[in-house]
Structure 1
């Protein structure tokens, strides 16, 4: 299927590792010019070099998405890199408080989780809007949320609260930006094999090879994020795409 993305310009956050890294590569393979944003500039630059070696067009910029000035400067530089922004794919996020009860979390740690996971999704949109509105293509935004936005697990309240906020941010943006013909959707995956999830869950030796639950690859989620910014999904807007191997479809009825 032709996703009709070739020659477009995308900004991908969290593009130095995990889902963001995979998404930048996937977009570049579709012929998209990609600007990679990450707080770890070295990782983003390495990914940009790999994309360039594979025939794509990519550039890397350092950003702290929890900081308004840093984000504004990075988005301005990103827009200047290839001459605009058509697509925004927001993959940056952290999970540092898994396993802690709400009475064990300090306010600074709580605020940091919200700073990256919520403010870090809003600020890029705020600063990219002039470029998205000026795009001659069907501008779109896709965001990584989580099935934690919909279902709670023990000792994960802070992360769940941030992802619930991202889900409603998606819906609110979709409504507000509809007059501009800018679509906004998010993907809500269950566990994805990334450095972040391994660290949060204490997965070390052997990775997820021996766990008794299914796990996504970053490339799985990269495909969904890419599909949701594609014109082929033009009638989908404000939608949380749940990717959880169908587990949420099952009743807990004991029979």
Structure 2
């Protein structure tokens, strides 16, 4: 017999029964294969590394070959399995090839993280934003998600189901006085597409959710908020008083990718420091 808290006694068999669910719990993405776009840095890199730590095999894609390969190398260096593939998400052939590459390397695809996106510095209001900037932003942020789903869903069907996570943004839900109309509209399209696909594929064991980050301390946003005045103007609206971190988004994506989210589909999963809940922020 072994003494436990409060002087209670347990046999070895009873003790093993008590601790087994915690002691032998598998990694959250064990035996899963994930395809992550925009994996050269920021949310994509942090998510790829975290998914690998949780047991997933990873294919990272990006147009940034150096950064994308660094992400894959980091995973392999730490004992994981990962490949990098150059891919432009705005091109159908590249998206189709990325899915085929993933199935060729790992035999299946279980998780798709359509994360690649841009926020162009010349994206402003409807009057001043050039048509070319609108088209570029839509092609990557919205069309890229569509193409990822178009070619990825058949692979998930072949695997018996899976999870799709599409990176949207809090600006698709909450308007901002700092204009970025192409970016905002593209992220609104991601939300609408996510809901539609979630309903269409709900009975195929395919879950589709939109991850909606708040303002993050990533290169993408910091290039846009390129002065201290701009940063403080944004921070005053965040109840938590700070920018989010890419790693915090990775943990949110991990939940959506895992079987723990088995009854979660069609959601706008806000991870935003409370910004969409705030009328005024605390003093």
TM-score scaled by length of structure 1: 0.91
Residue by residue over 1:20-63, the C-alpha shift from the partner in whole angstroms, topping out at 9 and shown as x without a partner, is 00000010000100000111122111110111001111000010
* Equivalence map 1:27-46=2 (5 Å): 27-46=51-70
Quote how far apart the aligned CAs of 1:97 are: 4.4
SS of the residue 2:85 aligns to: strand
Task: Report the CA distance between 1:69 and its aligned residue.
Answer: 1.5
Contact 1:97 / 1:105 at 8 angstroms: preserved in 2? no
Larger CA Rg, structure 1 vs 2: 2
Q: 2:170 — aligned with what?
A: 147
1:224 is aligned to 2:232: no
Query: Is 1:250 aligned to 2:278, yes or no?
Result: yes
Contact kept? 2:169, 2:211, Cα under 8 Å: yes
RMSD of aligned alpha carbons: 2.0
Unpaired runs of at least 5, structure 2:
1-24
Q: How many residues align?
A: 248
Identify which of structures 1 and 2 has the higher relative contact order when contacts are C-alpha pairs closer than 8 Å and 6+ apart: 1
Aligned equivalents of 1:129, 1:143: Cα separation in 2: 13
Q: Aligned runs of 1:1-255 on 2, under 5 Å?
A: 4-97=28-121, 100-136=124-160, 138-154=161-177, 155-202=179-226, 213-251=241-279
Q: Deviations over 1:181-209 (max 9, x none)?
A: 100111111111211111122158xx99x
Unaligned 5+ segments in structure 1 are: none
Looking at structure 2, the residues matched to 224 and 198 of structure 1 have their Cα atoms a distance apart, in angstroms, of 21
Normalising by structure 2, report the TM-score.
0.82
Q: CA deviation at 1:78?
A: 2.1
State how far apart, in whole Å, the 1-side matches of 2:264 and 2:122 are.
32
Task: Call closer, same or farther: CA 1:195–1:38 in 2, change over 3 Å.
Answer: same
Q: Using the TM superposition, give the Cα deviation of residue 248 of structure 1 relative to its aligned residue in structure 2, in angstroms.
A: 2.2
Return the alpha-carbon distance in structure 2 between the equivalents of residues 216 and 4 of structure 1: 23
Deviates more, 1:194-203 or 1:227-236: 194-203
